[in-house]
Structure formats: C-alpha cells, structure tokens
C-alpha cells in the first residue's frame, strides 16, 4: 500500500479550489439509475469511492462515461443486467443507497451488506424500516439484503428514530417512484440531502422540504433525465483545508465554497481564535493571533460534523490548554488518538469523550490511517509536526480527497507519495 511522506513545519499559504462533494456524488450516482433519460453530472470528484460506485452501477447495466475531468454522462439501464457485485459493494458503505432506487425502479434488489470505514457498527435498521413502510419486503440472509416491492411501492408516513443521512436518502429516493404521497419525519438535514433532492427534482420527481425536519414526496410514475446537474462543493474537503491552514498557522483562500455549509466548522475555528472571512464563494482562513482550546460535540447537521472531528483533534493537539471532544455519531471514531499520541500529543479517551491537552509541538514518526478522516487528520498532523511523518494506509485517504497531495503542494507543503514496492524512502 502507498505511503505519504511529509516534512512538516511549513505554514500553508495560497489558494486552493474545492472539488465536488463525495457524499452527494455517491448518493446522486445511485439515484441516477432511476433516470428514464440520460443524465450529465458536473463537479464530480475523481476519487476512489466514486470510481467504485461507477463500477457498481456499470455492473447493473448503466452506461457511465467521464467527460473531461469532473463530468459524468450516465444512461440508466432499462432492465437490470445483474445484482451489484458483492466484492465492490463491500468496499463502499454508500452502496447501501442502491437498495431504494433498485426497489423503486426494478421491483427487486439484492445488495450485499456493505462495508466502509471502520468507525462503528453502522446498522441499517432505519433504512429497512423505512423501505418496509413503503411496502417493500426485506429479508436478510447470507450477508445480503434482499428486497421485493411488488409492482410498485406505496407512499406512507415514516418517522425516523434518528436523522440518519443514508436512511433519509434511501427512503427519499424510493418514495419518488411510489404510488401517492410519502411524508418522512425527523429526517437528516445535511446539504447532501438537499443536493440529492434537487437532482431528483431535476429528473422530474416531486420532493419538497429537503433541508428541514420533514420531507414530502409525491410519487410519479417515471423519472426523466437531466441535461446537466452540478454537484455541490465538498464541505468536508473544505473543512479539512480550513483546519490544515489553521493547524500550520498559515493563510489559505478556499475557492468554490458554499459558506453556510461550512459554518459549523467556521464558527468553531473562530472560537479557537482563527480568522475566517467570507467573500462570495471564497473563504479565507488564517492565524494572526493566539489560539484558544475549544470544546466540540459532533451532531447531525447543522451541528459540528463527525467527519471533521479527527482533523480538529489533530489541530487542537498543539493549541495550549484543554479541549474536550464528544463524539455522538460513531462510537469508534477516536482510533486517531493513539496515532496522534505516537507523535507526542496528549489525549485521553474515555468512551465517547476525548480530552486533548495542547502540547507545544508534535514530532514526525510513522503512523497509520485507520479510516478516511483519520487519514486526513494524520496528514494535518504531519504538516504541523517537526521532522518527517510517514502516513501508511493511504488507500483510505484516496477514497475521499481529490488530488490532495497536488493541492497541498500548491500551498507549499512538502509531501510525496511513496508507491507500494518503492522502499527507497524508508
Ligand atoms: C453518512 C456519510 C458519512 C457521515 C455520516 C454522518 C455518506 C456516504 N456517508 O454516513 O460520511 O459521517 O453520514 O454525517 O453520505 N444508524 C442506525 N441505523 C441506521 C442508520 C444509521 O442506527 O439504519 C446510526 C449509525 O450507526 C450512526 C448514526 O446513525 O451512529 C449516523 O449514521 P448515518 O447518518 O446513517 O450515516 P451514513 O449515512 O452511514
């Protein structure tokens, strides 16, 4: 597996353009298999999770072609060529989002229970309950979820016990082709949900209320195509660069930002003494004064995103004073603390709480990414640290960051990828 070799201690300076959102792209790719006409998606990040999802939908019969660096033309299958292949589905948690579209469009689905990052148990009970509420029969056996929906799903009133992003997306997509009205209550409000709803509406669906607690969907008999739809910018990629700028005590202009989407991150960085200023779709992040410790609780949007928790932990590890982080979404998301401790951080983890005592500096060593965002956090730690840091398991980072090394190098970072089999650098 590849490794990233980082020589730290250089403040990041300059401009960086943020790519399209990974999580919105993955959900929209799943929705695109319900389209009756061709779809052109723009601002799609060329990252390994997106490539795996493209392979999966090709297996079920979709024609997918890249047009340029970031646009995809998709022609959905009129009949299924096969089930999503187990070996690819296991690589990607978001492949569970095919269940709703397959059931709604083709009346049946057989999807192996997906994998993804090692950040917690990640059950699918809310997805199954919602789809069953729309009239689907869902059976679990042999590691597969097998669903049948008769000729059509039926609109229903569905309440989610927890505002799960994936369950909201799956049920919302399925309800678009159900008979009658669906009312989804206590849904997730993440910007990616709104983006998916906008895309579905572009196909001719009737989805209202995305971004609020209640989504109402009037089922339609079929969906059309979409001449062009641009995916929103990635708020987590943006947040990662914001935190990297702050952590290296640098000054970075981020382009292609929707500022309200990153407000939970901007607000927390401002609390910590970081300057964050907005100008249209450009955000400038810099450190010009003393930094302060902060407390963080991860919550569903518009709370602080769990996907930014690890990066903030890396940053706070060198902010003088005591910061407390509470992880409310995924129970296994503090594995990063052990790696940061190897770099000299002082962090105590107790259950869902981590207490971070700021130290003057981290020192470079060999560390291992345990999931996508932990990998990003270790890159940030390496950029801050004295000396050389080697981050292994970079495949996790490649899942979600488009041209991370190129972008960081353009901001003055000293990092290189050591390809698998090239032992010369170690
Ligand atoms: C999505 C994002 C992920 C992000 C997460 C929370 C994608 C591809 N991934 O993941 O990057 O970290 O939202 O913002 O969009 N849960 C249940 N039962 C279910 C579903 C979820 O108990 O049926 C629980 C989970 O275990 C977790 C919590 O709900 O504790 C949140 O999960 P969810 O919002 O569903 O996250 P994902 O959609 O998997």
Confidence of residue 268 (pLDDT cuts 50, 70, 90): very high
Cα-to-centroid distance, 122 and ligand 1 (Å): 7
- pLDDT, position 320: 97
Q: CA 222 to CA 374: how far, in whole Å?
A: 41
Distances 417 to 136, 321, 394, 401 between C-alpha atoms, Å: 47, 34, 9, 14
* 119 within ligand 1 shell (Cβ under 6 A): no
Confidence of residue 104 (pLDDT cuts 50, 70, 90): very high
- Residue 128 alpha carbon, nearest atom of ligand 1: 23
- Residue 307 alpha carbon, nearest atom of ligand 1: 12
* 171 within ligand 1 shell (Cβ under 6 A): no
- pLDDT, position 385: 98
Confidence of residue 384 (pLDDT cuts 50, 70, 90): very high
First to last CA, the chain: 14
- pLDDT, position 170: 97
Lowest mean pLDDT, pick from 19-28, 70-79, 120-129, 250-259: 120-129
pLDDT in tens, 24-49: 999 999 999 999 999 999 999 999 99
Q: How many CB atoms sit inside 10 A of residue 250's CB? A: 20
Average pLDDT, whole number, for the chain? 95
- Residue 126 alpha carbon, nearest atom of ligand 1: 23
Q: CA 400 to CA 46: how far, in whole Å?
A: 9
Q: Which of 30, 86, 117, 202 is catalytic?
A: 117
- pLDDT, position 215: 98
pLDDT average, residue stretch 271-286:
98
pLDDT average, residue stretch 116-135:
82
CATH topology of domain 3-18+233-418: UDP-n-acetylglucosamine1-carboxyvinyl-transferase; Chain (3.65.10)
- pLDDT, position 122: 74
Per the DSSP assignment, residues forming a β-bridge with 141 are 144
Is the per-residue pLDDT at 388 higher than 60? yes
The model carries a pTM of 0.96
Task: Name which of 315, 361, 353 is nearest 333 in CA terms.
Answer: 353
* 113 within ligand 1 shell (Cβ under 6 A): no
Is the per-residue pLDDT at 423 higher than 60? no
Residue 41: phi, psi to the nearest 5? -105, 130
Determine what percent of the chain is predicted with pLDDT higher than 70. Answer: 97
Is the per-residue pLDDT at 266 higher than 80? yes
Residue 205: phi, psi to the nearest 5? -75, 165
Mutate which of 124, 164, 172, 327 to test ligand 1's pocket (most atoms within 8 Å of Cβ)? 164
Mutate which of 127, 128, 162 to test ligand 1's pocket (most atoms within 8 Å of Cβ)? 162
pLDDT in tens, 145-187: 999 988 899 999 999 999 999 999 999 999 999 999 999 999 9
pLDDT average, residue stretch 347-361:
97
* 330 within ligand 1 shell (Cβ under 6 A): yes
* 21 within ligand 1 shell (Cβ under 6 A): no
* 345 within ligand 1 shell (Cβ under 6 A): no
Confidence of residue 116 (pLDDT cuts 50, 70, 90): very low
Contact call for residues 226 and 35 (beta carbons, < 8 A): yes
Cα-to-centroid distance, 164 and ligand 1 (Å): 5
CA angle 381, 309, 118 (to 5 degrees): 90
> Is-catalytic flag, 395?
no
Three-state DSSP string of 107-130: CEEEEECCCCCCCCCCCCHHHHHH
- pLDDT, position 143: 83
Is the per-residue pLDDT at 407 higher than 80? yes
Is the per-residue pLDDT at 120 higher than 60? no
Q: Which CATH class is domain 22-220?
A: alpha beta
Integer-rounded Cα radius of gyration of the chain: 21
Q: Domains of the chain: which residue ranges?
A: 3-18+233-418, 22-220
**Smallest CA separation from ligand 1 atom 39, residue:** 166
**Smallest CA separation from ligand 1 atom 29, residue:** 164
- pLDDT, position 263: 98
Lowest mean pLDDT, pick from 89-93, 177-181, 378-382: 89-93
Q: Give 208 or 419, the one with higher predicted confidence.
A: 208
Q: Which distant-in-sequence residues (6+ apart) come within 8 Å of 69 by Cβ?
A: 46
* 309 within ligand 1 shell (Cβ under 6 A): no
- pLDDT, position 419: 86
Determine what percent of the chain is predicted with pLDDT higher than 90. Answer: 88
pLDDT in tens, 213-254: 999 999 999 999 999 999 999 999 999 999 999 999 999 999
- pLDDT, position 318: 97
- pLDDT, position 426: 44
* 30 within ligand 1 shell (Cβ under 6 A): no
Cα-to-centroid distance, 22 and ligand 1 (Å): 14
Confidence of residue 114 (pLDDT cuts 50, 70, 90): low
- pLDDT, position 82: 87
Is the per-residue pLDDT at 422 higher than 80? no
- For β-strands 414-418 and 3-7, DSSP reports them as antiparallel
């Amino acid at each position: 597996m590849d490794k990233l070799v980082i020589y730290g201690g250089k403040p990041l300076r300059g401009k960086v353009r943020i790519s399209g959102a990974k999580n919105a792209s993955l959900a929209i790719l799943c929705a695109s298999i319900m389209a009756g006409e061709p779809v052109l998606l723009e601002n799609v990040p060329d990252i390994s999770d997106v490539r795996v999802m493209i392979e999966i939908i090709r297996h079920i019969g979709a024609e997918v072609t890249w047009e340029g660096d970031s646009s995809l033309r998709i022609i959905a299958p009129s009949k299924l060529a096969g089930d999503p292949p187990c070996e690819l589905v296991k690589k990607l948690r978001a492949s569970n989002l095919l269940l709703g579209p397959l059931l709604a469009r083709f009346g049946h689905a057989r999807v192996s229970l997906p994998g993804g990052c090692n950040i917690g148990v990640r059950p699918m009970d809310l997805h199954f309950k919602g789809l069953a509420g729309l009239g689907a029969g869902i059976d679990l056996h042999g590691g597969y979820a097998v669903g049948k929906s008769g000729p059509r799903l039926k609109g229903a009133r569905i309440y989610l016990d927890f505002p799960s992003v994936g369950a909201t997306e799956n049920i919302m997509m399925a309800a678009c082709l159900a008979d009658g009205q669906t009312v989804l209550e206590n849904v997730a409000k993440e910007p990616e949900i709104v983006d998916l709803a906008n895309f579905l509406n572009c196909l001719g669906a009737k989805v209202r209320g995305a971004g609020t607690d209640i989504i109402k969907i009037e089922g339609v008999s079929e969906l059309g195509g979409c001449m062009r739809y641009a995916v929103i910018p990635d708020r987590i990629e943006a947040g990662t660069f914001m935190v990297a700028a702050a952590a290296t005590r640098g000054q970075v202009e981020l382009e292609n930002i929707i500022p309200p989407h990153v407000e939970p991150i901007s607000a927390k960085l401002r609390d910590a003494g970081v300057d964050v200023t907005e100008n249209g779709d450009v955000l400038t992040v810099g450190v010009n004064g003393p930094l302060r410790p902060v407390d963080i609780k991860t919550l569903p949007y518009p709370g602080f995103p769990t996907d930014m928790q690890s990066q903030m932990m890396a940053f706070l590890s060198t902010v003088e004073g005591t910061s407390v982080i509470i992880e409310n979404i995924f129970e296994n998301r503090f594995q990063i603390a052990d790696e940061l401790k190897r770099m000299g951080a002082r962090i105590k983890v107790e259950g869902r709480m981590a207490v971070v005592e700021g130290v003057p500096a981290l020192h470079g060593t060999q560390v291992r990414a345990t999931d996508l965002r932990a990998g990003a956090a270790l890159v940030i730690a390496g950029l801050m640290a004295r000396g050389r840091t080697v981050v292994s398991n970079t495949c996790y980072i490649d899942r979600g960051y488009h041209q991370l090394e190129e972008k960081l190098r353009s901001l003055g970072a000293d990092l290189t990828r050591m390809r698998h089999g090239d032992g010369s650098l170690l």
